[in-house]
A and B are shown apart, each in its own frame.
Chain A
Amino acid sequence: MKTIDNIRKEFPVLLRKVHDKKLIYLDNAATSQKPKRVLNKLLSHYTKHNANIHRAAHTLGEESTLAYEDAHKIVADFINAKSWREIVFTKNATEAFNLLSYSLGNSLRSGDEIVISIMEHHSNFVPWQEIAKRKKCKLHVIGMKNNSVDIKELSKKINKNTKIVSVVHVSNVLGSVNDVKMISDIVHSRSSAKVIIDAAQSIQHIPIDVQHIGCDFLVFTGHKIYAPTGTGVLYGKKEFLESMPPFMTGGGMIEKVTVEKTTFGEIPYKFEAGTPPIAESIALGEAIKFVKELGLNEIHSHENKLIKYALDKLKKIKGITILGSENAEDHIGVISFNLKGIHSHDLATILDQEGIAIRSGHHCAEPLLNYLGLNDCARVSFAIYNTKEEVDQLIKSLEKAKKVFA
Chain B
Amino acid sequence: MNSVIYREHILDHYKNPQNFGIVECADIIHKESNPLCGDEIEISAKIKNNKLADIKFRGHGCAISQAAASIMTENLKGKPMEEIMRFSREDMMNLLAIQISAMRMKCALLARHVLNKALLKNLNEKNNENHKRMKKELQNE
Instruction: List residues of A whose CB falls within 8 A of some B CB.
Output: 342-346, 349-350, 353, 360-362, 366, 375-376, 400, 403-405
The reply on B107 being an interface residue by CB < 8 A is: yes
Q: Are A345 and B6 in contact (CB under 8 A)?
A: no
Q: Are A361 and B38 in contact (CB under 8 A)?
A: yes
Residues of B within 8 A of A360 (CB): 37
In the complex, A344→B6 CA distance in Å? 14
The reply on B109 being an interface residue by CB < 8 A is: no
In the complex, A404→B63 CA distance in Å? 12
Q: Which among A343, A353, A400, A403 is the interface contact of B62 at CB below 8 angstroms? A: A343
Residues of B within 8 A of A361 (CB): 36-38
Q: Are A404 and B61 in contact (CB under 8 A)?
A: no
Produce 1/0 per residue, B2-23, CB < 8 A to A. Answer: 0111100001000000000000
Q: Are B60 and A375 in contact (CB under 8 A)?
A: yes
B56 CB, min distance to chain A CBs, angstroms: 21
Residues of A within 8 A of B37 (CB): 345, 360-362, 376
In the assembled complex, 15 residue pairs joining A and B whose CB atoms fall closer than 8 Å, in A order, are A343-B62, A343-B63, A344-B62, A345-B39, A345-B62, A346-B63, A346-B64, A350-B3, A361-B36, A361-B38, A366-B38, A376-B37, A403-B1, A404-B3, A405-B11
Q: Which residues of B in the span 1-58 have a Cβ within 8 Å of any Cβ on A?
A: 1, 3-6, 11, 36-39
In the complex, A360→B39 CA distance in Å? 12
Q: Are A345 and B107 in contact (CB under 8 A)?
A: yes
Q: Check A376/B38 contact, CB under 8 A, given A343-B62, A404-B11.
A: yes
Residues of A within 8 A of B1 (CB): 350, 353, 400, 403-404
Q: Are A349 and B101 in contact (CB under 8 A)?
A: yes
Q: Which among B38, B60, B62 is the interface contact of A346 at CB below 8 angstroms? A: B62
Nearest residue in B to A345 (C-beta to C-beta)?
Answer: B62
Find the residue from B3, B11, B39, B60 having the highest chain A CB count within 10 A: B3
In the complex, A294→B68 CA distance in Å? 49
Q: Are A362 and B6 in contact (CB under 8 A)?
A: no
The reply on B104 being an interface residue by CB < 8 A is: yes
Q: Check A353/B3 contact, CB under 8 A, given A345-B104, A346-B63, A346-B64.
A: yes
Residues of A within 8 A of B4 (CB): 353
8 extra interchain contacts, Cβ-Cβ under 8 A, other than A350-B3, A404-B3? A343-B63, A345-B64, A346-B64, A349-B104, A350-B6, A375-B61, A405-B11, A405-B63
Residues of A within 8 A of B63 (CB): 342-343, 346, 405
Find the residue from A342, A346, A353 having the highest chain B CB count within 10 A: A346
In the complex, A346→B64 CA distance in Å? 8
Nearest residue in B to A405 (C-beta to C-beta)?
Answer: B11
Residues of A within 8 A of B64 (CB): 345-346
Q: Which among A342, A353, A362, A404 is the interface contact of B38 at CB below 8 angstroms? A: A362
In the complex, A366→B5 CA distance in Å? 28
In the complex, A353→B11 CA distance in Å? 17
Q: Are B36 and A346 in contact (CB under 8 A)?
A: no
Q: Which 3 residue pairs of A and B lie closest in terms of their CB atoms, listed nearest first? A: A345-B62, A343-B62, A361-B37
B49 CB, min distance to chain A CBs, angstroms: 38
Residues of A within 8 A of B6 (CB): 346, 349-350, 404-405
Find the residue from B4, B5, B36 having the highest chain A CB count within 10 A: B5
In the complex, A366→B3 CA distance in Å? 30
In the complex, A403→B39 CA distance in Å? 23
Residues of B within 8 A of A376 (CB): 37-38
In the complex, A375→B38 CA distance in Å? 7
A340 CB, min distance to chain B CBs, angstroms: 13
Find the residue from B5, B11, B63 having the highest chain A CB count within 10 A: B63
Q: Which residues of B in the span 63-116 have a Cβ within 8 Å of any Cβ on A?
A: 63-64, 101, 104, 107
A364 CB, min distance to chain B CBs, angstroms: 10
In the complex, A161→B3 CA distance in Å? 58
B75 CB, min distance to chain A CBs, angstroms: 22
In the complex, A342→B64 CA distance in Å? 11
Residues of A within 8 A of B62 (CB): 343-346
B43 CB, min distance to chain A CBs, angstroms: 19
Residues of B within 8 A of A345 (CB): 37, 39, 61-62, 64, 104, 107
A342 CB, min distance to chain B CBs, angstroms: 8
Residues of B within 8 A of A405 (CB): 6, 11, 63
